[in-house]
Amino acid sequence: MRVNNRKLRGWTKGYLFILPSIIGFSVFVAYPLLSSMYYALTEWSGYDTPQFVGFDNFKYMFTEDPAFWPSVRATLYFVLLSVPSSLILGLLLAMLLNKSLPGIKWFRTIYYLPTVVPSIASLTLWLFIYQPQYGLANSLLRLLGLPEGTWLTSEKTALPSLVLIGLWQVGSGVIIFLSGLQSVPQELYEAAEVDGAVRWRTALHITVPMITPILFLQLILGIIGAFQAFNQVQVLTGGGPNFSTSLLNFKIYNDAFGGRMFGYAIAEVWVLFVIIMIFTALTYRYSNRFVYYESDNAR
Amino acid sequence: MAMHTEARFRRRRKFSLLDTLRFIILAVGAVAMLFPLLWMVTIALKGNNDVFKIPPEWFPRELHWSNFVTGTKEINFWQTFGNSMFIAVMCTIGQIVSSVLVGYGLARLNFPGRKLWFSLFVGSLMLPGFVGMIPLFNLYTELGWYDTWLPIIVPAFFGNATFSFLYVQYLRTISVSFDEAAKIDGASDLYILTKVLVPMTMPVIMTMVIFSFQGAWNQYLEPLIYIIDPSKWTLALAMASYKGTYATAWNLFMAADLIYILPMLLIFFFGQKYFMQGLGSLNSASLK
Protein backbone atom coordinates (compact mmCIF):
# COMPACT_ATOMS: atom_id res chain seq x y z
CA MET A 1 0.00 0.00 0.00
CA ARG A 2 2.76 2.40 0.90
CA VAL A 3 4.58 1.53 -2.30
CA ASN A 4 1.44 2.23 -4.31
CA ASN A 5 1.03 5.57 -2.63
CA ARG A 6 4.57 6.52 -3.50
CA LYS A 7 4.08 5.41 -7.07
CA LEU A 8 0.91 7.45 -7.30
CA ARG A 9 2.71 10.49 -5.97
CA GLY A 10 5.40 9.99 -8.61
CA TRP A 11 2.81 9.86 -11.34
CA THR A 12 1.06 12.96 -10.07
CA LYS A 13 4.39 14.75 -10.04
CA GLY A 14 5.04 13.79 -13.65
CA TYR A 15 1.65 15.08 -14.73
CA LEU A 16 2.14 18.28 -12.75
CA PHE A 17 5.32 19.00 -14.68
CA ILE A 18 3.77 18.47 -18.08
CA LEU A 19 0.46 20.10 -17.09
CA PRO A 20 1.16 23.35 -18.98
CA SER A 21 1.51 21.47 -22.24
CA ILE A 22 -1.50 19.24 -21.55
CA ILE A 23 -3.65 22.34 -21.04
CA GLY A 24 -2.00 24.02 -24.01
CA PHE A 25 -2.58 21.00 -26.22
CA SER A 26 -6.21 20.62 -25.16
CA VAL A 27 -7.15 24.29 -25.44
CA PHE A 28 -5.03 25.48 -28.36
CA VAL A 29 -4.87 22.32 -30.49
CA ALA A 30 -7.54 19.73 -29.69
CA TYR A 31 -10.44 22.09 -28.92
CA PRO A 32 -10.18 24.23 -32.07
CA LEU A 33 -9.50 21.18 -34.24
CA LEU A 34 -12.55 19.28 -33.02
CA SER A 35 -14.93 22.23 -32.78
CA SER A 36 -13.99 23.46 -36.24
CA MET A 37 -15.19 20.16 -37.71
CA TYR A 38 -18.64 21.21 -36.65
CA TYR A 39 -18.26 24.91 -37.45
CA ALA A 40 -17.26 24.03 -41.02
CA LEU A 41 -20.83 22.79 -41.52
CA THR A 42 -22.47 25.96 -40.23
CA GLU A 43 -23.36 29.44 -41.31
CA TRP A 44 -21.89 31.74 -38.71
CA SER A 45 -21.01 35.42 -38.71
CA GLY A 46 -19.03 35.33 -35.49
CA TYR A 47 -21.70 37.34 -33.66
CA ASP A 48 -24.70 35.04 -33.93
CA THR A 49 -25.05 31.36 -33.03
CA PRO A 50 -23.84 28.98 -35.75
CA GLN A 51 -26.64 27.54 -37.91
CA PHE A 52 -26.13 24.00 -39.19
CA VAL A 53 -26.26 24.01 -43.00
CA GLY A 54 -24.70 20.65 -43.92
CA PHE A 55 -22.27 20.78 -46.81
CA ASP A 56 -23.55 24.08 -48.22
CA ASN A 57 -20.27 25.83 -47.46
CA PHE A 58 -18.34 23.33 -49.54
CA LYS A 59 -20.90 23.41 -52.33
CA TYR A 60 -20.63 27.19 -52.50
CA MET A 61 -16.83 26.99 -52.34
CA PHE A 62 -16.40 24.50 -55.16
CA THR A 63 -19.13 25.67 -57.50
CA GLU A 64 -19.93 29.34 -56.90
CA ASP A 65 -17.27 31.33 -55.08
CA PRO A 66 -15.50 33.17 -57.93
CA ALA A 67 -12.38 33.70 -55.78
CA PHE A 68 -11.86 30.14 -54.59
CA TRP A 69 -10.29 28.38 -57.58
CA PRO A 70 -8.02 31.33 -58.45
CA SER A 71 -6.84 31.19 -54.82
CA VAL A 72 -6.11 27.47 -55.02
CA ARG A 73 -4.22 28.07 -58.25
CA ALA A 74 -2.19 30.92 -56.78
CA THR A 75 -1.41 28.89 -53.66
CA LEU A 76 -0.19 25.84 -55.59
CA TYR A 77 1.82 28.06 -57.93
CA PHE A 78 3.40 29.80 -54.93
CA VAL A 79 4.31 26.52 -53.23
CA LEU A 80 5.73 24.96 -56.40
CA LEU A 81 7.76 28.09 -57.10
CA SER A 82 9.03 28.95 -53.63
CA VAL A 83 9.76 25.58 -52.01
CA PRO A 84 12.09 24.05 -54.64
CA SER A 85 13.84 27.35 -55.38
CA SER A 86 14.66 28.06 -51.74
CA LEU A 87 15.75 24.46 -51.12
CA ILE A 88 18.08 24.41 -54.11
CA LEU A 89 19.49 27.88 -53.50
CA GLY A 90 19.94 27.09 -49.82
CA LEU A 91 21.78 23.86 -50.55
CA LEU A 92 24.01 25.43 -53.21
CA LEU A 93 24.97 28.31 -50.93
CA ALA A 94 25.64 25.90 -48.08
CA MET A 95 27.95 23.85 -50.29
CA LEU A 96 29.80 26.99 -51.35
CA LEU A 97 30.09 28.12 -47.74
CA ASN A 98 31.25 24.74 -46.46
CA LYS A 99 34.91 25.37 -47.09
CA SER A 100 37.59 27.53 -45.65
CA LEU A 101 38.02 30.60 -47.81
CA PRO A 102 39.28 34.01 -46.81
CA GLY A 103 36.44 35.80 -45.00
CA ILE A 104 34.19 32.72 -44.88
CA LYS A 105 32.82 33.69 -41.45
CA TRP A 106 31.80 37.07 -42.84
CA PHE A 107 30.06 35.42 -45.75
CA ARG A 108 28.09 33.15 -43.42
CA THR A 109 27.06 36.13 -41.31
CA ILE A 110 26.02 38.17 -44.34
CA TYR A 111 23.91 35.38 -45.81
CA TYR A 112 22.14 34.89 -42.49
CA LEU A 113 21.63 38.59 -41.82
CA PRO A 114 18.40 39.14 -43.86
CA THR A 115 16.61 36.43 -41.85
CA VAL A 116 17.16 38.44 -38.68
CA VAL A 117 15.07 41.30 -40.09
CA PRO A 118 11.51 41.01 -38.73
CA SER A 119 8.98 39.88 -41.32
CA ILE A 120 7.03 43.15 -41.41
CA ALA A 121 10.17 45.29 -41.56
CA SER A 122 11.49 43.33 -44.52
CA LEU A 123 8.13 43.27 -46.31
CA THR A 124 7.65 47.03 -45.97
CA LEU A 125 11.23 47.47 -47.19
CA TRP A 126 10.46 45.37 -50.26
CA LEU A 127 7.31 47.36 -50.88
CA PHE A 128 9.56 50.37 -51.41
CA ILE A 129 12.09 48.31 -53.37
CA TYR A 130 9.37 47.27 -55.83
CA GLN A 131 7.92 50.80 -56.12
CA PRO A 132 7.95 51.36 -59.92
CA GLN A 133 9.34 54.92 -60.09
CA TYR A 134 11.76 55.38 -57.22
CA GLY A 135 12.20 51.83 -55.95
CA LEU A 136 15.55 50.08 -55.81
CA ALA A 137 14.57 47.28 -58.22
CA ASN A 138 13.78 49.51 -61.18
CA SER A 139 16.55 51.97 -60.34
CA LEU A 140 19.05 49.13 -60.63
CA LEU A 141 17.57 47.88 -63.88
CA ARG A 142 17.74 51.41 -65.33
CA LEU A 143 21.32 51.73 -64.17
CA LEU A 144 22.20 48.54 -66.05
CA GLY A 145 20.31 49.76 -69.09
CA LEU A 146 17.67 47.04 -68.82
CA PRO A 147 13.90 47.44 -69.29
CA GLU A 148 11.93 48.16 -66.11
CA GLY A 149 10.11 45.35 -64.36
CA THR A 150 6.41 45.38 -63.49
CA TRP A 151 6.94 43.59 -60.12
CA LEU A 152 3.81 43.74 -57.98
CA THR A 153 1.69 45.60 -60.51
CA SER A 154 1.19 42.86 -63.08
CA GLU A 155 -0.62 39.54 -62.82
CA LYS A 156 2.34 37.71 -64.29
CA THR A 157 5.10 39.05 -62.09
CA ALA A 158 3.38 39.68 -58.73
CA LEU A 159 3.66 36.15 -57.38
CA PRO A 160 7.28 35.55 -58.49
CA SER A 161 8.12 38.89 -56.86
CA LEU A 162 6.80 37.56 -53.56
CA VAL A 163 8.87 34.40 -54.02
CA LEU A 164 11.97 36.53 -54.60
CA ILE A 165 11.54 38.14 -51.15
CA GLY A 166 11.54 34.65 -49.66
CA LEU A 167 14.79 33.87 -51.46
CA TRP A 168 16.39 36.93 -49.90
CA GLN A 169 15.71 35.27 -46.55
CA VAL A 170 17.11 31.87 -47.52
CA GLY A 171 19.76 32.19 -44.79
CA SER A 172 18.28 29.97 -42.10
CA GLY A 173 18.00 27.14 -44.62
CA VAL A 174 21.63 27.75 -45.57
CA ILE A 175 22.75 27.45 -41.95
CA ILE A 176 20.70 24.28 -41.43
CA PHE A 177 22.21 22.67 -44.52
CA LEU A 178 25.65 23.87 -43.52
CA SER A 179 25.38 22.19 -40.12
CA GLY A 180 24.30 19.04 -41.95
CA LEU A 181 27.24 19.22 -44.35
CA GLN A 182 29.66 19.69 -41.50
CA SER A 183 28.44 16.52 -39.83
CA VAL A 184 29.29 14.41 -42.90
CA PRO A 185 32.24 12.24 -41.75
CA GLN A 186 35.49 13.53 -43.22
CA GLU A 187 36.71 9.94 -43.86
CA LEU A 188 34.18 9.57 -46.65
CA TYR A 189 35.75 12.44 -48.55
CA GLU A 190 39.22 11.13 -47.91
CA ALA A 191 38.20 7.70 -49.14
CA ALA A 192 36.74 9.24 -52.26
CA GLU A 193 39.93 11.19 -52.87
CA VAL A 194 42.02 8.05 -52.52
CA ASP A 195 39.76 6.38 -55.08
CA GLY A 196 40.43 9.33 -57.36
CA ALA A 197 36.84 10.57 -57.45
CA VAL A 198 36.21 13.84 -59.26
CA ARG A 199 34.81 16.74 -57.27
CA TRP A 200 31.34 16.87 -58.73
CA ARG A 201 31.00 13.11 -58.36
CA THR A 202 31.96 13.39 -54.71
CA ALA A 203 29.26 16.03 -54.29
CA LEU A 204 26.67 13.93 -56.09
CA HIS A 205 27.43 10.56 -54.53
CA ILE A 206 28.59 11.45 -51.02
CA THR A 207 27.45 14.89 -49.96
CA VAL A 208 23.90 14.84 -51.29
CA PRO A 209 23.00 11.30 -50.11
CA MET A 210 24.45 11.99 -46.66
CA ILE A 211 22.24 15.00 -46.08
CA THR A 212 19.03 13.66 -47.62
CA PRO A 213 17.38 13.33 -44.17
CA ILE A 214 17.86 17.06 -43.64
CA LEU A 215 16.79 17.84 -47.17
CA PHE A 216 13.66 15.77 -46.67
CA LEU A 217 12.74 17.44 -43.38
CA GLN A 218 13.31 20.90 -44.87
CA LEU A 219 11.15 19.93 -47.83
CA ILE A 220 8.25 18.88 -45.58
CA LEU A 221 8.55 21.93 -43.33
CA GLY A 222 8.96 24.16 -46.39
CA ILE A 223 5.75 22.83 -47.92
CA ILE A 224 3.77 23.25 -44.70
CA GLY A 225 5.16 26.76 -44.27
CA ALA A 226 4.60 27.88 -47.86
CA PHE A 227 0.95 26.80 -47.81
CA GLN A 228 0.50 29.12 -44.83
CA ALA A 229 2.11 32.21 -46.35
CA PHE A 230 0.13 35.24 -45.29
CA ASN A 231 2.14 38.32 -44.32
CA GLN A 232 3.54 38.88 -47.82
CA VAL A 233 0.10 39.10 -49.34
CA GLN A 234 -1.45 41.11 -46.52
CA VAL A 235 1.29 43.74 -46.55
CA LEU A 236 2.27 43.88 -50.23
CA THR A 237 -0.54 43.01 -52.62
CA GLY A 238 -3.85 42.46 -50.83
CA GLY A 239 -4.34 39.43 -53.07
CA GLY A 240 -4.20 41.32 -56.36
CA PRO A 241 -3.81 42.06 -59.15
CA ASN A 242 -6.81 40.00 -60.28
CA PHE A 243 -6.43 37.29 -57.58
CA SER A 244 -2.92 36.44 -58.84
CA THR A 245 -1.51 36.55 -55.29
CA SER A 246 -4.67 35.65 -53.39
CA LEU A 247 -3.12 32.82 -51.37
CA LEU A 248 -5.65 30.64 -49.55
CA ASN A 249 -4.53 31.61 -46.07
CA PHE A 250 -5.10 35.27 -46.95
CA LYS A 251 -8.50 34.50 -48.45
CA ILE A 252 -9.44 32.65 -45.26
CA TYR A 253 -8.42 35.63 -43.15
CA ASN A 254 -10.38 37.97 -45.40
CA ASP A 255 -13.53 35.86 -45.44
CA ALA A 256 -13.45 35.49 -41.65
CA PHE A 257 -12.48 38.93 -40.46
CA GLY A 258 -13.37 41.04 -43.47
CA GLY A 259 -16.47 39.25 -44.72
CA ARG A 260 -17.60 37.98 -41.32
CA MET A 261 -18.18 34.49 -42.72
CA PHE A 262 -16.70 32.40 -39.91
CA GLY A 263 -18.36 29.14 -40.89
CA TYR A 264 -17.33 29.47 -44.51
CA ALA A 265 -13.77 30.43 -43.61
CA ILE A 266 -13.45 27.38 -41.37
CA ALA A 267 -14.67 25.19 -44.23
CA GLU A 268 -11.88 26.72 -46.33
CA VAL A 269 -9.41 26.02 -43.51
CA TRP A 270 -10.32 22.36 -43.76
CA VAL A 271 -9.83 22.32 -47.51
CA LEU A 272 -6.41 23.92 -47.14
CA PHE A 273 -5.58 21.51 -44.33
CA VAL A 274 -6.49 18.52 -46.51
CA ILE A 275 -4.40 19.90 -49.40
CA ILE A 276 -1.42 20.24 -47.06
CA MET A 277 -1.90 16.69 -45.77
CA ILE A 278 -2.07 15.29 -49.30
CA PHE A 279 1.10 17.14 -50.29
CA THR A 280 2.92 16.02 -47.15
CA ALA A 281 1.85 12.41 -47.66
CA LEU A 282 2.89 12.44 -51.32
CA THR A 283 6.25 13.98 -50.47
CA TYR A 284 6.73 11.44 -47.74
CA ARG A 285 5.86 8.56 -50.02
CA TYR A 286 7.95 9.61 -52.97
CA SER A 287 11.02 11.02 -51.32
CA ASN A 288 11.38 8.42 -48.60
CA ARG A 289 13.07 6.04 -51.00
CA PHE A 290 15.79 8.61 -51.68
CA VAL A 291 16.43 9.34 -48.05
CA TYR A 292 19.51 7.74 -46.62
CA TYR A 293 19.48 6.89 -42.92
CA GLU A 294 22.74 6.02 -41.29
CA SER A 295 21.20 3.20 -39.24
CA ASP A 296 20.25 1.45 -42.48
CA ASN A 297 23.91 0.70 -43.14
CA ALA A 298 23.60 -2.92 -42.14
CA ARG A 299 21.21 -3.74 -44.94
CA MET B 1 63.01 19.68 -53.17
CA ALA B 2 61.66 19.81 -56.68
CA MET B 3 58.86 17.44 -55.81
CA HIS B 4 58.05 19.45 -52.74
CA THR B 5 57.61 22.69 -54.66
CA GLU B 6 55.67 20.90 -57.33
CA ALA B 7 53.21 19.61 -54.74
CA ARG B 8 52.86 23.04 -53.25
CA PHE B 9 52.44 24.55 -56.65
CA ARG B 10 49.71 22.07 -57.50
CA ARG B 11 47.90 22.74 -54.30
CA ARG B 12 48.00 26.46 -54.80
CA ARG B 13 46.84 26.18 -58.39
CA LYS B 14 43.90 24.08 -57.26
CA PHE B 15 43.05 26.80 -54.76
CA SER B 16 43.29 29.66 -57.20
CA LEU B 17 41.08 28.15 -59.88
CA LEU B 18 38.09 26.63 -58.13
CA ASP B 19 38.21 28.62 -54.97
CA THR B 20 38.52 31.93 -56.74
CA LEU B 21 35.36 31.06 -58.63
CA ARG B 22 33.71 30.07 -55.34
CA PHE B 23 34.83 33.31 -53.77
CA ILE B 24 33.51 35.41 -56.65
CA ILE B 25 30.09 33.72 -56.61
CA LEU B 26 29.85 34.14 -52.85
CA ALA B 27 30.90 37.77 -53.03
CA VAL B 28 28.31 38.60 -55.70
CA GLY B 29 25.66 36.83 -53.63
CA ALA B 30 26.73 38.66 -50.50
CA VAL B 31 26.37 42.02 -52.25
CA ALA B 32 22.86 41.03 -53.34
CA MET B 33 22.01 40.07 -49.75
CA LEU B 34 23.34 43.30 -48.29
CA PHE B 35 22.14 45.69 -50.96
CA PRO B 36 18.50 46.05 -49.86
CA LEU B 37 19.62 46.76 -46.28
CA LEU B 38 22.28 49.27 -47.34
CA TRP B 39 19.75 50.98 -49.60
CA MET B 40 17.42 51.18 -46.62
CA VAL B 41 20.11 52.88 -44.55
CA THR B 42 20.89 55.43 -47.29
CA ILE B 43 17.19 56.26 -47.69
CA ALA B 44 16.83 56.67 -43.94
CA LEU B 45 19.61 59.25 -44.00
CA LYS B 46 18.37 61.29 -46.96
CA GLY B 47 16.63 64.64 -46.90
CA ASN B 48 12.91 64.83 -47.68
CA ASN B 49 13.29 65.70 -51.36
CA ASP B 50 16.41 63.71 -52.12
CA VAL B 51 14.46 60.45 -51.94
CA PHE B 52 12.56 61.20 -55.13
CA LYS B 53 15.34 62.11 -57.49
CA ILE B 54 15.79 60.56 -60.92
CA PRO B 55 18.41 59.35 -61.45
CA PRO B 56 18.69 58.38 -57.78
CA GLU B 57 21.59 59.44 -55.61
CA TRP B 58 23.09 56.21 -54.35
CA PHE B 59 24.78 58.01 -51.49
CA PRO B 60 22.98 60.79 -49.64
CA ARG B 61 24.76 64.11 -50.19
CA GLU B 62 24.22 65.17 -46.62
CA LEU B 63 23.32 62.89 -43.76
CA HIS B 64 20.05 63.70 -42.02
CA TRP B 65 20.47 61.90 -38.72
CA SER B 66 17.49 63.87 -37.43
CA ASN B 67 15.23 61.50 -39.44
CA PHE B 68 15.61 59.02 -36.63
CA VAL B 69 14.04 61.54 -34.27
CA THR B 70 11.40 62.97 -36.62
CA GLY B 71 10.49 59.54 -37.96
CA THR B 72 9.70 58.22 -34.54
CA LYS B 73 7.71 61.27 -33.45
CA GLU B 74 5.04 60.96 -36.12
CA ILE B 75 3.55 57.64 -35.13
CA ASN B 76 3.76 57.35 -31.38
CA PHE B 77 6.71 55.08 -32.04
CA TRP B 78 8.23 54.67 -28.62
CA GLN B 79 5.01 53.65 -26.90
CA THR B 80 4.48 51.07 -29.61
CA PHE B 81 8.09 49.96 -29.20
CA GLY B 82 7.43 49.54 -25.47
CA ASN B 83 4.29 47.50 -26.16
CA SER B 84 6.22 45.18 -28.47
CA MET B 85 9.04 44.84 -25.97
CA PHE B 86 6.68 44.04 -23.10
CA ILE B 87 4.79 41.43 -25.14
CA ALA B 88 7.99 39.84 -26.45
CA VAL B 89 9.56 39.63 -22.98
CA MET B 90 6.40 38.14 -21.45
CA CYS B 91 6.06 35.59 -24.26
CA THR B 92 9.71 34.63 -23.89
CA ILE B 93 9.44 34.14 -20.13
CA GLY B 94 6.26 32.12 -20.54
CA GLN B 95 7.60 29.87 -23.23
CA ILE B 96 10.94 29.21 -21.56
CA VAL B 97 9.53 28.49 -18.08
CA SER B 98 6.74 26.23 -19.31
CA SER B 99 8.89 24.43 -21.90
CA VAL B 100 11.66 23.75 -19.39
CA LEU B 101 9.17 22.31 -16.88
CA VAL B 102 7.49 20.15 -19.50
CA GLY B 103 10.83 19.09 -20.94
CA TYR B 104 12.02 17.97 -17.51
CA GLY B 105 8.81 16.03 -16.90
CA LEU B 106 9.06 14.24 -20.23
CA ALA B 107 12.78 13.52 -20.05
CA ARG B 108 13.31 12.69 -16.38
CA LEU B 109 10.09 11.56 -14.72
CA ASN B 110 8.36 8.24 -15.15
CA PHE B 111 4.62 8.06 -15.39
CA PRO B 112 2.08 6.18 -17.51
CA GLY B 113 1.13 7.94 -20.73
CA ARG B 114 4.41 9.80 -20.99
CA LYS B 115 5.21 8.51 -24.46
CA LEU B 116 1.69 9.22 -25.68
CA TRP B 117 1.78 12.85 -24.53
CA PHE B 118 5.24 13.26 -25.98
CA SER B 119 4.09 12.12 -29.42
CA LEU B 120 0.93 14.24 -29.18
CA PHE B 121 3.01 17.35 -28.44
CA VAL B 122 5.50 16.62 -31.20
CA GLY B 123 2.72 15.68 -33.61
CA SER B 124 1.01 19.02 -33.00
CA LEU B 125 4.06 20.68 -34.56
CA MET B 126 2.97 19.38 -37.93
CA LEU B 127 -0.47 20.96 -37.53
CA PRO B 128 -0.75 24.23 -39.46
CA GLY B 129 -1.25 27.15 -37.10
CA PHE B 130 -4.23 28.68 -38.87
CA VAL B 131 -6.43 25.64 -38.14
CA GLY B 132 -7.11 26.97 -34.66
CA MET B 133 -7.37 30.63 -35.61
CA ILE B 134 -11.13 31.14 -35.81
CA PRO B 135 -12.38 28.91 -32.95
CA LEU B 136 -9.72 30.47 -30.70
CA PHE B 137 -10.75 33.95 -31.80
CA ASN B 138 -14.27 33.08 -30.72
CA LEU B 139 -13.05 31.65 -27.42
CA TYR B 140 -10.97 34.72 -26.55
CA THR B 141 -13.79 37.05 -27.54
CA GLU B 142 -16.15 35.25 -25.18
CA LEU B 143 -13.56 35.52 -22.40
CA GLY B 144 -13.53 39.28 -22.99
CA TRP B 145 -9.94 39.22 -24.22
CA TYR B 146 -10.67 40.99 -27.50
CA ASP B 147 -8.56 44.13 -27.95
CA THR B 148 -6.17 43.09 -25.16
CA TRP B 149 -2.72 41.47 -25.22
CA LEU B 150 -3.97 38.37 -23.41
CA PRO B 151 -4.61 36.22 -26.51
CA ILE B 152 -0.96 36.79 -27.43
CA ILE B 153 0.71 36.44 -24.04
CA VAL B 154 -1.33 33.80 -22.18
CA PRO B 155 -0.84 30.90 -24.64
CA ALA B 156 2.93 31.33 -24.29
CA PHE B 157 2.68 30.07 -20.71
CA PHE B 158 1.25 26.74 -21.81
CA GLY B 159 4.31 25.18 -23.35
CA ASN B 160 5.84 25.43 -26.78
CA ALA B 161 6.13 22.05 -28.46
CA THR B 162 9.34 22.88 -30.37
CA PHE B 163 11.14 24.14 -27.29
CA SER B 164 9.96 21.32 -25.01
CA PHE B 165 11.15 18.86 -27.61
CA LEU B 166 14.49 20.62 -27.93
CA TYR B 167 14.90 20.62 -24.15
CA VAL B 168 14.02 16.92 -23.87
CA GLN B 169 16.66 16.12 -26.48
CA TYR B 170 19.26 18.19 -24.67
CA LEU B 171 18.45 16.74 -21.23
CA ARG B 172 18.90 13.25 -22.62
CA THR B 173 22.55 14.05 -23.28
CA ILE B 174 23.08 14.81 -19.57
CA SER B 175 23.75 11.85 -17.28
CA VAL B 176 21.03 10.97 -14.76
CA SER B 177 23.75 10.52 -12.13
CA PHE B 178 23.63 14.27 -11.47
CA ASP B 179 19.95 14.04 -10.56
CA GLU B 180 20.51 10.93 -8.46
CA ALA B 181 23.33 12.50 -6.49
CA ALA B 182 21.11 15.45 -5.63
CA LYS B 183 18.19 13.15 -4.81
CA ILE B 184 20.30 11.24 -2.28
CA ASP B 185 20.94 14.59 -0.61
CA GLY B 186 17.16 14.95 -0.35
CA ALA B 187 16.65 17.52 -3.08
CA SER B 188 13.20 17.92 -4.64
CA ASP B 189 12.59 17.72 -8.39
CA LEU B 190 12.11 21.46 -8.66
CA TYR B 191 15.42 21.98 -6.86
CA ILE B 192 17.21 19.52 -9.13
CA LEU B 193 15.79 21.21 -12.19
CA THR B 194 16.49 24.80 -11.22
CA LYS B 195 19.76 24.41 -9.33
CA VAL B 196 21.42 21.48 -11.10
CA LEU B 197 20.05 21.02 -14.60
CA VAL B 198 19.19 24.56 -15.70
CA PRO B 199 22.77 25.81 -15.16
CA MET B 200 24.05 22.82 -17.14
CA THR B 201 21.64 23.42 -20.01
CA MET B 202 22.27 27.15 -20.34
CA PRO B 203 23.39 26.92 -24.02
CA VAL B 204 20.11 25.40 -25.16
CA ILE B 205 18.12 27.77 -22.94
CA MET B 206 19.90 30.75 -24.53
CA THR B 207 19.01 29.38 -27.96
CA MET B 208 15.39 29.05 -26.88
CA VAL B 209 15.36 32.59 -25.46
CA ILE B 210 16.65 34.03 -28.72
CA PHE B 211 14.24 32.18 -30.97
CA SER B 212 11.35 32.81 -28.63
CA PHE B 213 12.03 36.54 -28.53
CA GLN B 214 12.48 36.65 -32.27
CA GLY B 215 9.18 34.87 -32.81
CA ALA B 216 7.31 37.23 -30.50
CA TRP B 217 8.98 40.36 -31.92
CA ASN B 218 8.04 39.26 -35.46
CA GLN B 219 4.51 38.00 -34.99
CA TYR B 220 1.91 39.75 -37.04
CA LEU B 221 -1.23 37.67 -37.56
CA GLU B 222 -2.29 37.48 -33.89
CA PRO B 223 -1.88 41.19 -33.13
CA LEU B 224 -3.62 41.95 -36.42
CA ILE B 225 -6.64 39.91 -35.43
CA TYR B 226 -6.89 40.83 -31.76
CA ILE B 227 -5.61 44.34 -31.21
CA ILE B 228 -7.71 47.24 -32.44
CA ASP B 229 -6.80 50.22 -30.26
CA PRO B 230 -3.71 51.93 -31.80
CA SER B 231 -2.31 52.68 -28.34
CA LYS B 232 -2.01 48.91 -27.78
CA TRP B 233 -0.46 48.16 -31.16
CA THR B 234 2.81 46.35 -31.61
CA LEU B 235 5.53 47.60 -33.94
CA ALA B 236 4.71 44.97 -36.58
CA LEU B 237 1.16 46.31 -36.72
CA ALA B 238 2.24 49.93 -36.64
CA MET B 239 4.83 49.64 -39.40
CA ALA B 240 2.43 47.70 -41.64
CA SER B 241 -0.37 50.20 -41.09
CA TYR B 242 1.68 53.35 -41.41
CA LYS B 243 3.32 52.39 -44.69
CA GLY B 244 0.54 54.38 -46.35
CA THR B 245 0.84 57.36 -44.03
CA TYR B 246 4.51 57.57 -44.88
CA ALA B 247 3.96 57.29 -48.64
CA THR B 248 5.61 60.66 -49.18
CA ALA B 249 8.25 60.38 -46.47
CA TRP B 250 10.24 57.25 -47.22
CA ASN B 251 13.21 58.51 -45.31
CA LEU B 252 11.21 58.80 -42.07
CA PHE B 253 9.62 55.40 -42.60
CA MET B 254 12.96 53.71 -43.21
CA ALA B 255 14.43 55.38 -40.13
CA ALA B 256 11.58 54.06 -37.98
CA ASP B 257 11.78 50.63 -39.62
CA LEU B 258 15.51 50.49 -38.84
CA ILE B 259 14.84 51.10 -35.15
CA TYR B 260 12.27 48.29 -35.30
CA ILE B 261 15.01 45.99 -36.66
CA LEU B 262 17.69 47.19 -34.24
CA PRO B 263 16.91 44.93 -31.22
CA MET B 264 17.08 41.86 -33.47
CA LEU B 265 20.36 43.05 -34.97
CA LEU B 266 21.85 43.55 -31.50
CA ILE B 267 20.71 40.10 -30.39
CA PHE B 268 22.14 38.66 -33.57
CA PHE B 269 25.55 40.24 -33.19
CA PHE B 270 25.90 39.34 -29.53
CA GLY B 271 24.27 35.93 -29.75
CA GLN B 272 25.31 34.78 -33.20
CA LYS B 273 26.75 31.60 -31.75
CA TYR B 274 23.34 30.62 -30.34
CA PHE B 275 21.57 31.33 -33.61
CA MET B 276 23.89 29.04 -35.53
CA GLN B 277 23.99 26.32 -32.86
CA GLY B 278 20.25 26.58 -32.41
CA LEU B 279 19.39 26.05 -36.06
CA GLY B 280 21.77 23.09 -36.16
CA SER B 281 20.44 21.47 -33.00
CA LEU B 282 16.78 22.16 -33.80
CA ASN B 283 17.37 20.33 -36.99
CA SER B 284 19.35 17.39 -35.71
CA ALA B 285 16.95 17.00 -32.78
CA SER B 286 13.95 16.74 -35.03
CA LEU B 287 15.64 14.09 -37.17
CA LYS B 288 15.86 11.66 -34.29
Q: What would the mean pLDDT of B172-200 be, rounded to a whole number?
A: 88
Give pLDDT < 50 ranges for chain A. 296-299
Q: How far apart, in whole angstroms, are the C-alpha atoms of residue B37 and residue B258?
A: 9
By C-alpha distance, which of A261, A207, A239 is closest to A45?
A261
ipTM of the complex: 0.86
> Which comes out higher in pLDDT, residue B2 or A90?
A90
pLDDT given for residue A2 in this prediction: 56
pLDDT band for position B6 (50/70/90)? very low
Q: Using pLDDT thresholds of 50, 70 and 90, give the confidence band for residue B285.
A: low
pLDDT at A297: 45
Average pLDDT over residues B33-58: 85
Of A263-267, A270-274, B109-113, B281-285, the poorest mean pLDDT is in B281-285
pLDDT at residue number B153: 95
- State the pLDDT at residue B251: 87
**Are A81 and A163 a contacting pair, CB within 8 Å?**
yes
From the list B171, B203, B187, B151, the residue with the least C-alpha distance to B101 is: B171
Give the one of A23, A118, A180 whose C-beta lies nearest to B217's C-beta.
Answer: A118
Please state, for a pLDDT cut of 70, what percent of chain B lies above it: 90
Q: Which residues of B touch A134 (CB under 8 A)?
A: 51-52, 54, 56, 250
pLDDT score of B5: 46
Residue scoring higher pLDDT (A205 or B138): B138
DSSP class of residue A297 equals: G
For B219, list phi and psi in degrees, rounded to 5.
-65, 145
Give which of B23, B46, B237, B279 to mutate to test A binding, by max A Cβ within 10 Å: B279
Taking only the tens place, the pLDDT of each residue in B217-259 is 999 999 999 999 989 999 999 998 887 766 678 888 899 999 9
Q: Which of residues 134-173 of B touch A (CB under 8 A)?
A: 134-139, 141, 155, 157-159, 161, 164
Q: Does position B74 have pLDDT exceeding 80, yes or no?
A: no
At B284 the pLDDT is 61
DSSP E strands: which ranges in chain A? 42-43, 51-52
Q: What is the pLDDT of residue B247?
A: 66
Of A18, A214, A224, the CB nearest to B102: A18
pTM, 2 dp: 0.88
- At B287 the pLDDT is 54
The gap from C-alpha A285 to its chain's centroid, in whole angstroms, comes to 19
For the segment B177-191, the average pLDDT, to the nearest whole number, is 87
Q: Do B220 and A119 touch (CB under 8 A)?
A: yes
pLDDT of residue A169: 93
Interface of B with A in 205-264 (CB under 8 A): 214, 217-218, 220-221, 224-225, 235-236, 239-240, 243, 250, 253-254, 257, 260-261, 264
- Between residues B7 and A280, the one the model is more confident about: A280
